[in-house]
Structure 1
Amino acid sequence: MAASCSPLAGALCSQVLASVDALLFDCDGVLWKGESEIPGAAALVNRLQERGKLVFFLTNNSTKSREMYVEKLRRLGFRARCEQVFATAPCAALYLRQEAKLCGSVYLIGGAALRGELQAQGIACSGTGPGPELIPGSGPVQTWAAEPLDPAVAAVLVGFDEHFTYMKLCRASRYLQDPACIFLATNTDTLLPLEGGGIPGTGCLVKAVEAASKRTAYVIGKPNDFMFKCMVKEHGVDPSRTVMVGDRLDTDILMGSNCGLRTILALTGVSTLEEAKAHQESDSPERHKLVPTYYVNSVADLLPGLE
């Protein structure tokens, strides 16, 4: 789609909202920051639903289940149901069961919520939790590296794991020596934004496993189009009448471009207008995919378009 990066206000805002049936919202940085709603975000989302619009919540975060997201949304004043939440954890489980036709279990680098979503789809998994540690002087690494692998494992899935260790990296790479072993990642975000700064994100763990195994993971989350494909399949969403609203150019806006959607950049999160303009002025077609169709200071700026 053409790189335009136009401010969305006034009559144009009303026209755009009238022309869409579905709106996809990123969460952190768009609807809330930390534990606080971005002022006016809940009023917008609720009014859109009152007007008959389909609203969906998309997130690359694999550390929370759909139920946990719905609980947070409702606590902050948003009307939300589980079927409106498209997160990498449940979508990874769907991919393994429906697309990959998994026959076997999963070696999981990830947390309890991701494990729960797999188990809810009837998928057995191992690898979560702290795991064994290498104790200095306990014996050569070669001995541990030769430990028998579980023959039932047919896939390796990497999500955010606060207990990530060298041991887990070694185990995952050994499973992936089998070319038939499926290699999946929830997302490749290298930074996990937090109030007061950021810490390394899931993408750092994915890159480590890719380097160790000399393989490339199939990525479920944004900017890939798999979550949107799930949405189309489950809800019949029409891309020509859908808009993606996000705060990150390299995930939210790029996903919208990859799916043929109009996009809105909310300037309440990670990416800036200056970054979007720099991509717009580039001669690179690939960088043009990072340019939003429109931008707003906050999603609350869309409220007048519904009056």
Structure 2
Amino acid sequence: MIDTHPTSFAGVTPSPAWAFAQYQHIRGALPKGLPPEHQPPTRELTSLAPLLDRFQAFVFDAFGVLNAGPRAFPEAVARIRQLQKLGKTVMVLSNAATASHGALATKYQTMGFDLRPDQLVSSRRVLEQVLCRHPRPGRFGVLSPASSAPESLGLDWVPVRPGIRSGALDPLDGFVFLSSEGWNEEIQEAMAQSLGRHPRPLLVANPDLVAPRGDCLTMEPGYFAHLLMDQCPVQPEFFGKPYQPAFDAVLEKLTGIDPADILMVGDTLHTDILGGQAAGMKTMLITAEGALQGMNIPDCIAQSGIAPDYSAPAI
């Protein structure tokens, strides 16, 4: 299957340095996290191994930690198996929103991860649960490819895909942004024009600005949602990391475990680490493959003011 997530937009090809600068640009729209005086000193490790006995539960980001696109990291597969043999609670918290919950669980099982569906919390699933508890009236445009099965959202919906004109968007009561597959300048402008004429709800399942896919970074819904905020009077609702709904969904599954006994493991300071800190968890930054690949990590920590408890190249 050909990946159609955009690797450039409006003349910009994302790099780790560009992505970090973009996260810094939107820092004020992200959770506050820990104040500077409470930021931990980061302990550098070679892997997760020294922490196996320290925590009761381990929550892993997916892209950049467990896999890069369709490629699973063999050491990650082995580490998950080791943790489960030790009786540790293992969860995956992903901002992936294109695939349905069942399809996403199957994807990781096919990659070799011994993960049940109940061990996976996706930002799309969080959005679906919120919509189930608080139904949204009206007809919504769903921004996603045909393969994403939007009927699981529980909305009256129509597809919104590249080629649609802004006038066709005007009658809709709101929008759900699941995926940036096929996204381009034309549909961005159509959305900006329609929302500029009539601001409406914009529900963003995936707040990521970029996603690591091995040899490149793709531009994700979070980037285009924040761009829409600059173009028109719209205030998106975000459901994935680093925002509270995603971490609340994990903590609901880990009832009885103190958040301080949970390690959030991710590759992005502004999503995984910031969100984990805000939820009271301890955090570990993975650096070899992911959003900060090749960056000066101590400098990134200093610039962002977001310090993980631990860092390592891989898990």
TM-score class, shorter-chain normalisation, is 0.7 to 0.9
How many residues in Structure 1 have an aligned counterpart in Structure 2?
Answer: 275
Shift of 1:245: 0.7
2:277 to 252, 257, 264: 257
CA distance in 2, matches of 1:109, 1:79: 31
CA distance in 1, matches of 2:169, 2:239: 30
Residue 157 of structure 1 aligns to a residue whose secondary structure is strand
Q: In the alignment, which of 161, 175, 178 is matched to residue 159 of structure 1?
A: 178
- Change in 2 beyond 3 A, CA 1:107/1:38: same
Structure 2 counterpart SS, 1:29:
coil
Query: Offset of 1:62 from its aligned partner?
Result: 1.8
Instruction: Give the residue type in structure 2 aligned to 1:145.
Output: G
Q: Deviations over 1:19-55 (max 9, x none)?
A: 3221111112211233333232112111212222221
For residues 200-219 of structure 1, what are the structure 2 equivalents within 5 Å? 200-219=219-238
- Does the residue aligned with 2:121 lie in a helix, a strand or coil? strand
Partner of 2:314: 298
Of 222-231 and 163-172, deviating more is 163-172
Amino acid at match of 1:3: P
Aligned to 2:6: none
Determine the C-alpha separation between the residues in 1 that align with 2:284 and 2:250. 19
Match of 2:26 in 1: none
The higher radius of gyration belongs to 1
1:244 Cα offset (Å): 0.5
Unaligned stretches of 5+ residues in structure 2: 1-37
Q: Please say if 1:94 is aligned against 2:129.
A: yes
Residue 3 (structure 1) aligns with: 40
Asked whether the equivalents of residues 68 and 212 of structure 2 are also in contact (C-alpha less than 8 Å), the reply is no
Q: 8 Å contact 2:287–2:293 — kept in the other structure?
A: yes
Pairing 1:129-140 to 2, within 5 Å after superposition: 129-132=161-164
Deviation at 1:61, TM superposition (A): 2.2
User: What do you get for the CA RMSD once the two structures are aligned?
Assistant: 3.0
Q: Tell me the TM-score normalised to structure 2 length.
A: 0.75
Give 2:251's aligned residue: 232
1:175, CA displacement in angstroms?
A: 5.7
CA distance, structure 2, for counterparts of residue 36 and residue 205 of structure 1: 26
C-alpha distance in 1, partners of 2:245/2:53? 26
What are the residue-to-residue correspondences of 1:139-178 with 2, within 5 Å? 145=167, 149-150=171-172, 153=173, 155-164=174-183, 166=186, 169-170=189-190, 174=194
State the Cα deviation string for residues 152-198 of structure 1 (Å, max 9, x = none).
x3x3222323344645753576467666x432212333333333323
Distance 2:139 2:169 in 1: 18
1:120 is the counterpart of 2:145 = no
Q: Distance in 2 between matches of 1:187 and 1:235?
A: 22
Describe the SS at the equivalent of 2:160: coil
The letter of the residue matching 1:200 is: M
Secondary structure of 1:28's aligned partner: coil
Per the alignment, do residues 35 and 146 of structure 1 end up closer, same or farther by CA in structure 2, a change over 3 Å counting? Answer: closer
Q: Which residue of 1 aligns with 2:10?
A: none
On the 8 A contact 2:58/2:90 being kept in 1, the answer is: yes
Match 1:288 to one of 299, 305, 309:
305
Contact 1:107 1:172 survives alignment (8 Å): no
Which of 274, 277, 281 aligns to 2:298? It is: 277
> Is the contact between residue 273 and residue 283 of structure 2 (CA under 8 Å) also seen in structure 1?
yes
Match of 1:186?
205
Q: Is the 8 A contact 2:178 2:204 kept in 1?
A: yes
Post-superposition Cα deviations, 1:191-225, rounded to whole Å, max 9, x if no partner, equal 33333323332233213432343122121111212
DSSP 3-state at the match of 1:70: helix
User: Any unmatched runs of 5+ in structure 1?
Assistant: 134-143, 300-307
1:39 aligns with one of 52, 74, 94:
74
Distance apart, 1:106 and its partner CA: 2.1
